Structure 1
Amino acid sequence: MEKLNLDVTNRTITGKKVKTLRNQGIIPMNMFGYGIDSKELQCELSQLNKVLPVAGTNIPITINIDGETKSENICFVRDLQWDPISDKLLHVDLYRVDSTRTVTIEVPITLSGTSNAIVNMGGTLIQPLSSVTVQGLPLDIPTEFVIDISILDGFEKSILISDIEVAESITLMNPEDQMLARVLPPRVEEEPTVESEEGEEGEEGEEGLLEEGQEATGEGQEEQSDSE
């Protein structure tokens, strides 16, 4: 795994005045967590644009604070604040951890390959989980889990948590039988049954004949009654 670094400096400007920093291409940051009180920092936006997309929230970043060399700052990105209108980065929160203690964190899942059940059988791929929870030392946390879906060559097969291969230093926290991916068969729609017009006309004709017969019977009964 590539080691990520950010060179930052301590920040003295706070509150609404941080807008002047952003106008200069500098983003305010806060670092908190293991062994420290909250520290107010700042970093050039150009650096953040390179590191943050790679780090996500599960890759540790080494924070190098200008003028401080006594301790190593291993951090995860905890939160990013964005301007809702311009979509520009406003603020970064970093969570400091102890590199010798385990952490629990979400690792994304990426599906790769092709499935015969999709390509040749018209199935639809479903992926109930986009990430899994793992526990391990900060520097051992994987970037992502890449899952090959080529084994899904039929509708009866599924990929489960137990199918993920991990290093001995990493523990998967999800249930082993939890599903990661499966291909569903194509949906078959039944055509509605439509009665023919001839059948309907035939039924109407029979009803008409029956009514006429009933009337005729009634007339015959009246004539018989008169003759008596």
Structure 2
Amino acid sequence: MKQNFVVSAESRADEGKGASRRLRRTGKVPAILYGGKDQPISIAVSHNELWKSLKVEAFYSHILTLKLNGTEQQVVLKDLQRHPVDETLLHIDFQRILADQLLRRQVPLHFKGAEVAPGVKVGGGIVEHHLNQVEVECLPKDLPEYIEIDLSAMQLNDVVHLSQLNVPEGVALTELKHGADPSVVVIHLPRAAVEPEPVAAGSAEVPAANQKAPDAKGAAPAKGAAPAKAAAPAKAAPAKKK
């Protein structure tokens, strides 16, 4: 069952960095609403209320109801800026949508059945996610909250590609439209299980630099070499005359 998110907003006339800082000190976040057939307008929303909604994954991919000046509009969250340190909200972009116009949105992937997959339970493999969300194109009424992927039948070294996902009717995956079909998830052995074992130290050949030279007395002559001549006896010194 889809959730229904409602965002309350109010118009604001002051713009600029100074006006935005003053607005934030009152607990509100500067935002802009654009798209559709109307002109962009500057608005403000409650920081605390929006902070709670942003903790829900579906908020990012859902069609939102924006209440502004007594009217309701269908919008999507288009952009979000946070403080780099404390992650407080600095600015929000909302885009109006039209029921008869296609929109593109990032939709999260939900994986199930990994714990009973034969490649994991029997083969000892691990699940590696290459994608956690995908971009879809559809009419607003067909926008899915998420796309589910069942891993329960995957064997070791099995791969699921983008073209194998089960998407709802009326929903297209934009990467497939451009000819790309990346892998989404794979089951493979852990890296340590496939690395070759190191060679034992005792079986390694001794480097030539560390080998001892053969004893000169016991060394055999090289093949094809002439035998070494015996050293001539030293001549005796002549005796001194008396």
Question: Which bracket does the TM-score occupy, shorter chain normalised?
Answer: 0.7 to 0.9
Whole-angstrom CA distance in 1 between matches of 2:40 and 2:109: 32
Shift of 1:89: 0.9
Superposition map of 1:52-67 within 5 A: 52-54=54-56, 55-67=58-70
Shift of 1:163: 2.8
Superposition map of 1:9-24 within 5 A: 9-15=10-16, 16-24=18-26
Q: Among residues 167, 171, 196, which one is paired with 1:189 in the alignment? A: 196
Instruction: Tell me the matched-pair count.
Output: 215
1:3 equivalent in structure 2:
4
Is 90-99 or 13-22 further displaced after alignment? Answer: 13-22
The structure with the larger Rg is 2
Root mean square deviation, CA, Å: 2.9
TM-score normalised by structure 2 residue count: 0.76
- SS of the aligned residue for 1:118 comes to helix
Q: Which has the higher helix share?
A: 1
Whole-angstrom CA distance in 2 between matches of 1:136 and 1:197: 63
Q: Does 1:37 align with 2:47?
A: no
Pair 194,66 (structure 1): closer, same or farther in 2 beyond 3 Å = same
Judge conservation of contact 1:7–1:66 (CA < 8 Å) in 2. no
Q: Among residues 184, 198, 219, which one is paired with 1:180 in the alignment? A: 184
Q: Deviations over 1:169-224 (max 9, x none)?
A: 21222338532111122323232254559989xx858x32676445xx4243x559
Percent identity, aligned pairs only, is 22
1:90 equivalent in structure 2:
90
Judge conservation of contact 1:5–1:51 (CA < 8 Å) in 2. no
Q: Deviations over 1:127-177 (max 9, x none)?
A: 22222221111232111112122222322x222223322221212223385
Judge conservation of contact 2:126–2:187 (CA < 8 Å) in 1. yes
Shift of 1:65: 0.6
Judge conservation of contact 1:77–1:94 (CA < 8 Å) in 2. yes
Unmatched 5+ stretches in structure 2: 222-226, 234-242
Q: Which residue type is aligned with residue 110 of structure 2?
A: T
Whole-angstrom CA distance in 2 between matches of 1:3 and 1:146: 20
Judge conservation of contact 1:26–1:42 (CA < 8 Å) in 2. yes
TM-score normalised by structure 1 residue count: 0.80
Q: Among residues 110, 129, 132, which one is paired with 1:130 in the alignment? A: 132
Whole-angstrom CA distance in 1 between matches of 2:173 and 2:167: 8
1:169 equivalent in structure 2:
170
Q: Which residue type is aligned with residue 169 of structure 1?
A: G
Whole-angstrom CA distance in 2 between matches of 1:32 and 1:127: 35
Pair 6,209 (structure 1): closer, same or farther in 2 beyond 3 Å = same
Whole-angstrom CA distance in 2 between matches of 1:37 and 1:7: 19
Superposition map of 1:104-123 within 5 A: 104-113=104-113, 114=115, 115-123=117-125
